[in-house]
C-alpha cells in the first residue's frame, strides 16, 4: 500500500471518527436532559377526559380542577360527579354495597403513600433502591397519579353487606356504560406499568369507555390508536414510540469502530466531549450538569484533558509586562 493510499484511509477514518463523535456528543451530552432530567408533561390542551398521566407524563404544575366533596368526605372533579353518582345509584339498586375509598389526592398525599409502601418493602429486608422499584409497580410516582387529576376513584365493597368480588365483577361489566374504565387491568400491566387494580376506575367519557371496553384497549392503546398522542420528536434516533435502547446504540457504535479500526469507547468520547467544551469556553458549571456530575471538580479533574497546544494558547493569553 503506497503512502497516498495510507493517507487517504487515515483521513477517511478521521472523518468517520468525527461523525461518530458528533453523534455520541449529542447522545451522551444531551440525552440525559431529553430522556431523564426534563419532565415530559401531560397534554392538557385536548379533551380533559382523556388526559394521560403516567411515569412519562407528569401533571402540569398549573393544572386546575373544580372539586366536589362526596358524602364520605372524599373529593372528585365536579365534572365526573353526575356520572359517578348515577353508577353508584344503579349498583346499589342491584344490591351492591360500595363506596369511594379514594378520590382526589394531593402530591403530598401521594408521596406519603409511596413512602409507606417503600418502608413496607424495606422492613422485609429489601434495600432502598429495590424497595423503591417494587413500590413503583403498585404506587404511582407523585406528580403522575391519576388521583391528582380528580378523575379517578378507588371503589371498594362494604364487606359487611357484600363481597369485593361481586362489586369488582359488576364494575368490570358495567362501569363503561357510565364513562368509567378499569384503568389498570391485569392483562395490560406491561403497557401501563401498574399491576392489576380491580378497584381503580378512571372517567374517560361514555364514548371512549365503550370503545375501550369493546376493543379490549387500555387508555394508552386507545390514545395511540385514535388520538396520535405520542410525539415522536421526543425520541432520539427512533421513529418508534420508545427511545432507542442505549445498548443498541453502544452495539452499533462498537460495530462502526471495529469496521474502521477505531479505538474508542463511549466513555472516552465523554472525556473528549468535555475537553472540547472547555476549549470552546462553554461554562464549566453548565457542562458539569450536562454530564450529570455531582460537582465541577469531577468534570475538571477527571474528564478534561488539555493538550500541550491548548496549554500554550492559555499561557500566551497572559499580557507581557510593560517595559519601562
> Residue 48 and residue 30: Cα distance in Å, rounded?
32
CA angle, residues 295, 300, 306, in degrees to nearest 5: 165
> Residue 281 and residue 289: Cα distance in Å, rounded?
15
Calculate the alpha carbon distances from 94 to 83, 158, 166, 171 in Å: 17, 14, 11, 12
Enumerate the active-site residues.
197
What count of other Cβ atoms lies within 10 Å of the Cβ of residue 81?
Answer: 17
> Residue 87 and residue 71: Cα distance in Å, rounded?
15
8 Å CB contact between 76 and 84: yes
For residue 44, what are the contacts with CB-CB under 8 A and spacing of at least 6? 51, 60, 63
Task: Sort 314 into a burial class: Cβ within 10 Å, 0-12 / 13-18 / 19+.
Answer: exposed
For residue 23, what are the contacts with CB-CB under 8 A and spacing of at least 6? none
Q: Print the SS3 string covering 3-57.
A: HHHHHHHHHHHHHHHHHHHHHHHHHHHHHHHHHHHCCCECCCCCCHHHCCCECCE
> Residue 71 and residue 21: Cα distance in Å, rounded?
63
Amino acid at each position: 500500500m503506497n503512502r497516498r493510499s495510507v493517507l487517504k484511509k487515515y483521513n477517511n477514518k478521521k472523518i468517520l471518527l468525527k461523525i461518530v463523535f458528533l453523534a455520541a456528543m449529542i447522545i451522551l451530552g444531551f440525552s440525559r436532559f431529553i430522556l431523564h432530567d426534563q419532565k415530559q408533561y401531560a397534554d392538557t390542551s385536548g379533551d380533559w377526559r382523556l388526559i394521560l398521566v403516567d411515569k412519562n407524563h407528569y401533571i402540569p404544575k398549573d393544572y386546575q380542577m373544580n372539586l366536589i366533596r362526596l358524602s364520605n368526605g372524599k373529593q372528585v372533579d365536579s365534572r365526573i360527579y353526575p356520572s359517578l353518582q348515577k353508577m353508584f345509584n344503579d349498583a346499589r339498586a342491584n344490591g351492591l354495597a360500595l363506596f369511594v375509598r379514594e378520590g382526589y389526592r394531593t402530591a403530598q398525599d401521594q408521596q406519603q403513600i409511596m413512602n409507606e409502601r417503600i418502608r413496607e418493602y424495606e422492613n422485609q429486608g429489601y434495600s432502598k433502591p429495590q424497595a423503591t422499584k417494587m413500590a413503583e409497580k403498585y404506587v404511582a410516582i407523585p406528580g403522575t397519579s391519576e388521583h391528582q387529576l380528580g378523575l379517578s376513584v378507588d371503589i371498594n365493597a362494604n364487606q359487611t353487606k357484600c363481597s369485593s368480588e361481586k362489586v369488582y365483577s359488576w364494575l368490570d361489566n358495567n362501569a363503561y356504560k357510565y364513562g368509567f374504565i378499569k384503568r389498570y387491568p391485569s392483562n395490560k400491566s406491561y403497557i401501563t406499568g401498574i399491576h392489576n387494580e380491580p378497584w381503580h376506575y378512571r372517567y374517560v367519557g361514555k364514548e371512549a369507555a365503550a370503545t375501550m371496553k369493546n376493543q379490549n384497549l387500555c387508555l394508552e392503546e386507545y390514545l395511540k390508536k385514535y388520538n396520535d398522542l405520542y410525539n415522536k420528536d421526543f425520541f432520539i434516533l427512533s421513529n418508534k414510540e420508545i427511545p432507542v435502547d442505549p445498548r443498541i446504540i453502544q452495539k452499533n457504535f462498537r460495530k462502526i469502530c471495529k469496521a474502521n479500526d477505531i479505538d474508542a469507547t463511549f466513555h472516552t468520547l465523554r472525556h473528549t466531549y468535555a475537553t472540547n467544551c472547555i476549549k470552546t469556553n462553554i461554562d464549566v458549571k453548565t457542562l458539569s450538569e450536562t454530564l450529570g456530575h455531582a460537582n465541577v471538580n469531577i468534570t475538571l479533574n477527571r474528564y478534561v484533558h488539555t493538550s500541550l497546544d491548548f496549554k500554550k494558547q492559555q499561557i500566551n493569553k497572559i499580557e507581557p509586562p510593560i517595559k519601562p
